Amino acid sequence: MIRALKLFRAELVRSVLLALRYPIELFIGLFIMYILFMGLFLGARSLVRDPQVLSASLDGFIISYVMWFFVISALGRLAHHIESEAQMGVLEQIFLTYPRVLALMMIRSAVDFITSLLMVVVLLVCIMASTGKWLAIGTGNILQILFLLIVTVAGIYGFGLIFAGLALVFKRIGQVGTIMQFAFFFLAYFPAEQISGWLKVAFYSLPLTLGVSLIKTVVVEQSTVFDGTRPWLLLGLVINSAVYLLIGSAVFLICERKSRIDGRLGQY
């Protein structure tokens, strides 16, 4: 436990130092995400002539976009770590130093989530100030939102582990990750709560959709996830994310074993 805490602190310090050393990359990334949202927002406003209709759907629109930001980070960060360390020639040393590399990936996921959360706060404030739409986030529901956010993003990091494992084997997989980001963009905006029957169950079994729906319930409807049938949906979200995280861990371990056997850790 102490070793894990020390490793978490070291990864957090490393992440902060990289952000301070390369601030332009950080600012440009946030600026591009802001500009992309404003482009989508202005396009939607030009199509929806009724301001009341646009205002009623804007809360969910912002929430879906913010969740997609977390997806971009979760899918790309772990694989980026692997690719950059392989390029620098230190990947094999890391695998020799940390026999349980999966634990290291989990700690990096936690650190990446914290840094992404800080960037999301900045991005969200800029978006709400620009659109004039302030989400109902306060002391009464912040804990529910944070819990739903952690559980939902945990499942996405399962896919991040899959891409990290593929990066161990194939070294460069950037294009695959980019394509998957747009697939998750569809899931973030798909109104699964408006359909019914087996199709709704099928979409809720996919990553992200159920988490986004429950977060909208808390923020937009200003309700709680502990009313009515929502506790069962919350349990389903936990199981959903746990399954995807376990699948991602298994794929990473398989790819790690293959890389060790093939001697690819020292290659780029």
Tell me, yes or no, whether 222 lies in a domain: yes
As a whole number, mean pLDDT of residues 192-199 equals 79
Q: Which of 67-71, 93-97, 169-173, 226-230 has the highest mean pLDDT?
A: 67-71
Tell me, yes or no, whether 268 lies in a domain: no
Tell me, yes or no, whether 188 lies in a domain: yes
Q: How many domains does one find in the chain?
A: 1
As a whole number, mean pLDDT of residues 212-217 equals 90
Tell me, yes or no, whether 165 lies in a domain: yes
Tell me, yes or no, whether 267 lies in a domain: no
What is the band of 56 on the pLDDT scale with cuts at 50, 70, 90? low
Please report the pLDDT score of residue 156 as a whole number. Answer: 93
Q: 132 in the Ramachandran plot: left (φ > 0), alpha (ψ -120 to 50) or beta?
A: left
Tell me, yes or no, whether 136 lies in a domain: yes
Q: pTM of the entire structure?
A: 0.88
As a whole number, mean pLDDT of residues 135-160 equals 89
Domain limits for position 256: 2-262
Choose among 244, 227, 91: nearest CA to 157.
244
Q: Hey, what are 38's tokens?
A: 């404003």
Residue 34 has pLDDT above 60, yes or no: yes
Please report the pLDDT score of residue 246 as a whole number. Answer: 95
What is the band of 240 on the pLDDT scale with cuts at 50, 70, 90? very high
State the chain's mean pLDDT as an integer. Answer: 85
7-31 pLDDT per residue, tens: 888 888 888 888 888 888 888 989 9
95-141 pLDDT per residue, tens: 777 768 888 889 989 999 999 999 999 999 999 999 888 888 877 78
Three-state secondary structure of the chain: CHHHHHHHHHHHHHHHHHHHHCHHHHHHHHHHHHHHHHHHHHHHHHHCCCHHHHHHHHHHHHHHHHHHHHHHHHHHHHHHHHHHHHHHCCHHHHHHHCCCHHHHHHHHHHHHHHHHHHHHHHHHHHHHHHHCCCCCCCCCCHHHHHHHHHHHHHHHHHHHHHHHHHHHHHCCCHHHHHHHHHHHHHHHHCCHHHCCCHHHHHHHCCCCHHHHHHHHHHHCCCCCCCCCCHHHHHHHHHHHHHHHHHHHHHHHHHHHHHHHHHCCCCCC
Answer yes or no: are the C-beta atoms of 244 and 184 closer than 8 Å: no
